[in-house]
Amino acid sequence: MENVIILGAGIAGYTAAIYTARANLKPILIGGPEVGGQLTLTMEVENFPGFPNGVQGPELMQMMRKQAEKFGTQFIEGVAKRFDAKGDHYEIQVGEQVLQAQTVIVATGASAKWLEVPSEQQYKGRGVSTCATCDGFFYRGKEVIVVGGGDSACEESLFLTKFATKVTLVHRRDQLRASKIMQDRVFKNEKIKVLWDHVVEEVLGDGKHVTGAKFKHVKTGQVTEMKTDGIFSAIGHVPNTKIFEGKLELDEKGYLKTDRFMHTNLPGVFGAGDVQDIKYRQAVTAAGTGCQSAMEAEKYLENLEN
C-alpha cells in the first residue's frame, strides 16, 4: 500500500512529487503519455520566477524531475488505464501492474487541440504555439495568425496585439462563436483582421522557423498563402480525465472539479494543474496547485494515522 500516487509528469505532478517526497511519503509518479507536459512544447520560458534570462521548457522539466528524484520519488513510465475506489484506498492500473494507494494526486493535464495539418509538428515551438501568454513576447514587431472563433481565440488575439504589428484571426465560419463583449473588443482593435470562412491547410517554413501558412476557403475551395511569423492554435484543450469518468466529479467540458484546497469529491484524491484549471493554464499556477495538493495529501495521511 503506497502513501501517494501522482498521475502526470508535468509541472504540477513534479511539484507535487517534490513536496510529498520531502515529506518522506515516498511518492510514486506515473508519467503518462506526455512526459514533461505542455512545457516540453515551449522552447523559451521567460515568465517562470527565478530565471531572469529565461529557461528552455524541456530543460526546466528535466531539472524538476531530477529534483523530485533526489528526494526519493519513484517513477513509473506508462499510462494509467484504470482508476477505482476500493473502500479506504484506491487502485490504479498501469499496463499489467496494479498499484494501491491511500491518496492520489491527479495532475494529468489538458492537451491542446492541434490543427493537424502538414508541417505543424515540425514547427512546434518554432513558430507554432498554443499559448499566447507563454510565447507572445517573442513576436514583438512581427505578424501572427490566430486560429479559432471562441473566447479563447479572441483573448489570444487581443493579448498578441501588445507585441505583434498585425494579428490575423482565422475562422472557418462567417461569424465568431465568442461572447458579444469579446467580439466587440476584437472588431474595435485596429491591429486585428478577421479572415472569415478559411481553414489552415499547411504550415509553411524555411526548415527552422514558420514563414507562412496555406489556407483554403471553405465555400469556394480556393487556396491562398500568407506570410506570417507565427501561428497560434486557439481551438481549445481536452482534459485528460477519461479514466475518471463516472468516478470523480467532472464539469461539462470534462475538467476535474476541485475546491479551493484541491480536494475532489472523493476523500484522499486531489487535483492539480491544467486538469482542473480552465482559466490560467500557466506553469507557475500549475506549480502552485501541485504544492497545494501535496500538502493536503500529507495532512490527509496524518489524520488517518490519528
Check: CB of residue 104 under 8 Å from CB of residue 270.
yes
Q: Side chain identity at 247, as an amino acid letter? A: K
168 three-class SS: strand
Q: What is the DSSP letter of 142?
A: -
The yes-or-no answer on residue 154 being catalytic is: no
State residue 32's pLDDT score: 85
Band of pLDDT at residue 106, cut at 50, 70 and 90:
very high
Q: What's the rounded mean pLDDT across residues 252-258? A: 96
Which is the catalytic residue, given 84, 131, 251, 277? Answer: 131
pLDDT tens digits along 22-59: 999 999 999 988 788 878 767 678 889 999 999 988 89
Alpha carbons 77 and 83: distance in angstroms, whole number: 17
Please tell me the pTM assigned to this model.
0.81
State residue 243's pLDDT score: 96
Sign for the CA dihedral angle at 120, 125, 128, 129 comes to positive
Check: CB of residue 305 under 8 Å from CB of residue 25.
no
232 three-class SS: strand
* Domains of the chain, residue spans: 2-111+238-305, 114-233
The yes-or-no answer on residue 131 being catalytic is: yes
Q: Please tell me the class of the 114-233 domain.
A: alpha beta
User: What is the pLDDT of the chain when averaged over all its residues?
Assistant: 94
Cell numbers at 16, concatenated: 507535487
Check: CB of residue 23 under 8 Å from CB of residue 1.
no
State residue 36's pLDDT score: 81
Band of pLDDT at residue 168, cut at 50, 70 and 90:
very high
Which is the catalytic residue, given 134, 154, 229, 274? Answer: 134
State residue 271's pLDDT score: 98
Closest CA to 139 of 123, 162, 114: 162
- Say yes or no: do domains 2-111+238-305 and 114-233 share a fold: yes
CATH number assigned to the domain with residue range 2-111+238-305, chosen from the 4 options 3.40.190.10, 3.30.70.20, 3.40.50.2000, 3.50.50.60: 3.50.50.60
Q: Give residues with Cβ within 8 angstroms of 306, minimum separation 6.
A: none
CA atoms within 13 A on the CB side of 99: 27
State residue 43's pLDDT score: 66
Check: CB of residue 35 under 8 Å from CB of residue 306.
no
> Over 70: is that where the pLDDT of 275 sits?
yes
- Of 72-81, 158-167, 213-222, 278-287, the poorest mean pLDDT is in 278-287
Q: Give residues with Cβ within 8 angstroms of 128, minimum separation 6.
A: 120, 203, 210, 230, 231, 233
